[in-house]
Structure 1
Amino acid sequence: MSFAVTAGGHRVECAPSQTLLDACLRAGVWMPNSCNQGTCGTCKLQVLSGEVDHGASPRDTLTDDERATGLALACQARPLADTEVRGHGTAGRTTHRLRDLTTTVRAVEDIARDTRRVLLGLAEPLAFEPGQYVELSVPGSGARRQYSLANTADEDKVLELHVRRVPGGLATDCWLFGGLDVGDRVEATGPLGDFHLPPAEDDDGGPMVLIGGGTGLAPLVGIARTALARHPTREVRLYHGVRGAADLYDLDRFAELAAAHPGLTFVPVLSDEPDPAYRGGFPTDAFLEDVASGRGWSGWLCGPPAMVEAGVKAFKRRRMSPRHIHREKFTPADAS
């Protein structure tokens, strides 16, 4: 048995055990989504007809009053009948289909302090937008963890993930740093998330600033490379904020990219362990020091919530338009 879900003029089939978001994305129908855990509220929508089970929707994200007015979280709600919903920007828009993937580990490389690059090979290419992420199934646990792709769209058969170890973490210490090896099978789902560039036809080549905290650099790699491929002379400022020089990685990669694109400036920033070779402090403050006006710029933030919130404030201080500020908060699960 399944129920019909209508969103933005599209009709998809949804199993009773399936969330509205999962059903739509697997059918190629776009809905806003970010954390897909019920904590960010990005996927909040209006139920116009029918009925849903709110499942594990947190009440601090979806209040009782909002439920009473017909609002629901698409990533948590499941249909109890044929349902019509309206969400921000869903009308007439399609997206890359969400897929279940069986991948094979191609490489595991230590690239910085407590940081690894993991390459996952695919039997069939995965269509995605640079900046999106995949969910990995942690073997034997039933848990799932999210990791951003560092790829551009044409790098669609080997997925690049940057992973930081969490002491005692179920996914990192006990698996990705504990026993993962080349040749292992890894089950994944993707692509997910709204953190990506606009379509090429809507990209005017304007200046960009990208700020990544730790492995929040990963999606910015694909976004920056794609932006420069579209407009090779555009101005791009990419800041990487970490605690110390031991946490920096891919410096040669960014030097090569800057040599090919003189408009690119890559700025490592160390917050806790000073080094005369690098800027000190926080990357958001470095941006404020470097850029007098953000008018006409777009801003991209990925990393810990505190850094992202500081970045939004910094961008607004420089008069960047709020609609041009894009953010992705890394909120790792306990013992992730």
Structure 2
Amino acid sequence: MPFTATVGDREVPCGDDQPLLDAFLRAGVWLPNSCNQGTCGTCKLRVVSGAVDHRDSPADTLTAEERTAGLALACQARLRSDVVVEGTGGVAGRATHPLRDLVATVRELEDIARDTRRLRLGLPEPLAFHAGQYVELTVPGTTVRRQYSLVNTAEEDKVLELHVRLVPGGAATERWIFDGLAIGDRVEVTGPLGDFVLPPADEDDGGPMVLIGGGTGLAPLIGLARTALGRDPDRRVLLYHGVRGAADLYDLDLMAELAEEYAGFSFVPVLSHEPESSHRSGFPTDVFVEDVASARGWSGWLCGPPPMVEAGVKAFKRRRMAPRMIHRENFTPADA
């Protein structure tokens, strides 16, 4: 039988085998969430009353002591009774864009860099989301689901743009998106997901921002930067893109257009393994430290492989950025 979960003054019915997070997001009730695979711990909450089944919650993300103390991962937990929960971070229970399932149509497939493809998906109806969020795609004929960040701003809600990097042997990339997916194909899409988003416009202080992306980690940063500049055209926005070599760079024309339109915007490509004279070399987190003497009052946004994200956190703190102003989106391996 279905049970009910309550957070604050919001009550949400949950299906027999429905993850708690899924039920809340589909009802338009916000809980912190990031990887939705049980590996990041962002959706951790406290069960004040009632019982849950922790299912496949990893022991290193949710320890035995935490379970005993009443903590649970919302993306993994299933209800075994009516429950009352409270968030351990952020303001759980506020309204958000509902999680939805849609069938999209492939509008465009374009190779834009080495082992990198742009995928545009037309929707049958608009999907409400915040810039920086992501969607899940289901590989046809399987239960395999993969997450891809949205490049779009919130106004671009009818055609979703994704940047996909080839993963050797990948069920979604090498065996589908890079081999067989074609214009006109239909794709199952679930979203929006994630909380790698700007604060609401009325809470955004308009302060300077630095965004650092590794590889296709650039994707959500484009939407975040364009949204921030749309709110305040004079805002200082530094965007670093770290890749191995020049063949991995893409959307340089778009970056040049943004720099021409917005005086406060700067784009810095950084090559780590195949340096050349026309671009900075090394790692983008180190280049940021070279460029900015103090990031006090700035916000920082990191998206890419976990080692790059962790290096970025250290770089931001080294330049005196407040920890609460540091936002991160790890690219979690599918088999984590």
Q: TM-score range by the shorter chain?
A: over 0.9
* Counterpart in the other structure of 1:112: 113
Residue aligned with 1:271, SS: strand
CA contact (8 A) 2:48 2:84 kept: yes
TM-superposed CA distance for 1:92, in Å, is 4.9
Unaligned runs of 5+ in 1: none
Residue aligned with 1:183, SS: coil
Question: What amino acid does structure 2 have at the position aligned with 1:128?
Answer: F
* Counterpart in the other structure of 1:78: 78
* Counterpart in the other structure of 1:331: 332
CA contact (8 A) 1:209 1:298 kept: yes
Deviation per CA, 1:15-34: give whole Å up to 9, x if none.
Answer: 12101100000001000000
TM-superposed CA distance for 1:89, in Å, is 3.0
Matches of residues 245-256 of structure 1 in structure 2 within 5 Å? Answer: 245-256=246-257
Q: Does 1:195 align with 2:196?
A: yes
State the alpha-carbon separation in 1 of the partners of residues 202 and 90 from structure 2: 18
Question: What amino acid does structure 2 have at the position aligned with 1:9?
Answer: D
CA contact (8 A) 2:32 2:92 kept: no
State the alpha-carbon separation in 2 of the partners of residues 319 and 10 from structure 1: 38
TM-superposed CA distance for 1:101, in Å, is 1.1
Unaligned runs of 5+ in 2: none
Question: What amino acid does structure 2 have at the position aligned with 1:86?
Answer: E
After TM superposition, the score normalised by the length of structure 2 is 0.98
How many residue pairs get aligned? The number is: 335
CA contact (8 A) 1:9 1:91 kept: no
268-277 vs 90-99, which deviates more?
A: 90-99
State the alpha-carbon separation in 1 of the partners of residues 191 and 126 from structure 2: 12
State the alpha-carbon separation in 2 of the partners of residues 40 and 138 from structure 1: 23
Residue aligned with 1:210, SS: strand
Residue aligned with 2:273, SS: coil
State the alpha-carbon separation in 1 of the partners of residues 211 and 195 from structure 2: 16
State the alpha-carbon separation in 2 of the partners of residues 248 and 237 from structure 1: 17
Q: Does 1:58 align with 2:58?
A: yes
TM-superposed CA distance for 1:190, in Å, is 0.2
State the alpha-carbon separation in 2 of the partners of residues 261 and 185 from structure 1: 37
State the alpha-carbon separation in 1 of the partners of residues 291 and 50 from structure 2: 52
Deviation per CA, 1:233-282: give whole Å up to 9, x if none.
Answer: 11000000000000000000010011000100000000000111100000
Residue aligned with 2:311, SS: helix
* Counterpart in the other structure of 2:27: 27
CA contact (8 A) 1:24 1:30 kept: yes
State the alpha-carbon separation in 2 of the partners of residues 298 and 318 from structure 1: 11
Residue aligned with 2:106, SS: strand
State the alpha-carbon separation in 2 of the partners of residues 332 and 89 from structure 1: 26
TM-superposed CA distance for 1:332, in Å, is 2.3
Matches of residues 1-336 of structure 1 in structure 2 within 5 Å? Answer: 1-87=1-87, 88-334=89-335
CA contact (8 A) 1:254 1:266 kept: yes
Question: What amino acid does structure 2 have at the position aligned with 1:16?
Answer: D
State the alpha-carbon separation in 1 of the partners of residues 279 and 106 from structure 2: 34
State the alpha-carbon separation in 2 of the partners of residues 57 and 234 from structure 1: 41
CA contact (8 A) 1:165 1:173 kept: yes
CA RMSD of aligned residues (A): 1.0
After TM superposition, the score normalised by the length of structure 1 is 0.98
Residue aligned with 1:246, SS: helix
CA contact (8 A) 2:116 2:164 kept: yes
Deviation per CA, 1:52-106: give whole Å up to 9, x if none.
Answer: 0001000110011111111100000000111111113345511000001110000
Question: What amino acid does structure 1 have at the position aligned with 2:9?
Answer: G
State the alpha-carbon separation in 1 of the partners of residues 8 and 262 from structure 2: 40
State the alpha-carbon separation in 1 of the partners of residues 328 and 135 from structure 2: 17
State the alpha-carbon separation in 1 of the partners of residues 39 and 256 from structure 2: 37
State the alpha-carbon separation in 2 of the partners of residues 221 and 38 from structure 1: 27
Residue aligned with 1:34, SS: coil
CA contact (8 A) 1:244 1:274 kept: yes
CA contact (8 A) 1:132 1:192 kept: yes
